[in-house]
Amino acid sequence: MVDAQQDVKKMRPVYRNIGLAQLVKYRLPWAGKVSILHRISGAALFLLLPFILYLFDQSLASELSYQKFQAFTGNILVKIICLGLIWSFLHHFCAGIRYLLLDLEIGVEKSEANRSAIIVLLLGLALTAVVGLKLFGFY
């Protein structure tokens, strides 16, 4: 009976707490990276919601407030913050669609999940680049 208990203990997986120093070296799969970025982008969108609503209000209130809005958003720091918000929204949207497909059991195999995670990362960055070029006046 003692041997059976020892065999069970040997077969159990070992879960280790990962410290901040070990986190840099930890190899997270692409799906894990997308999951963490999905949470970060959702938190950023939630926390910056008052800023987003302020910008929306300033753009619609009156002609004078729209001119103030244009002057405020002309600042390079505000444009960089807006670019971060644009990435947050686009990544959160693309990853959300991925999770809806996973809930429907589409793409749940390891290789398919890995491929869809990479596609979400690249698509979010590509869409952000397109909108960012428009934001900074390149077209």
Is domain 29-136 annotated with CATH 3.40.50.410?
no
In this predicted structure, the answer to whether residue 113 has a pLDDT above a threshold of 70 is: yes
| Sign of the C-alpha dihedral computed for residues 24, 27, 33 and 39 taken in this order | negative
Mean pLDDT of the chain: 90
- Residue 59 CA to residue 50 CA, distance in Å, equals 14
In this predicted structure, the answer to whether residue 7 has a pLDDT above a threshold of 70 is: no
Domain ranges, ordered by start, for the chain: 29-136
pLDDT of res. 60: 93
Report pTM: 0.80
Nearest to 30 by CA among 120, 103, 109, 91: 120
Tens digits of residue pLDDT in 68-81 = 989 999 999 999 99
Tens digits of residue pLDDT in 12-25 = 777 777 777 777 77
Residue 38, annotated as binding a ligand: no
- Residue 77 CA to residue 64 CA, distance in Å, equals 22
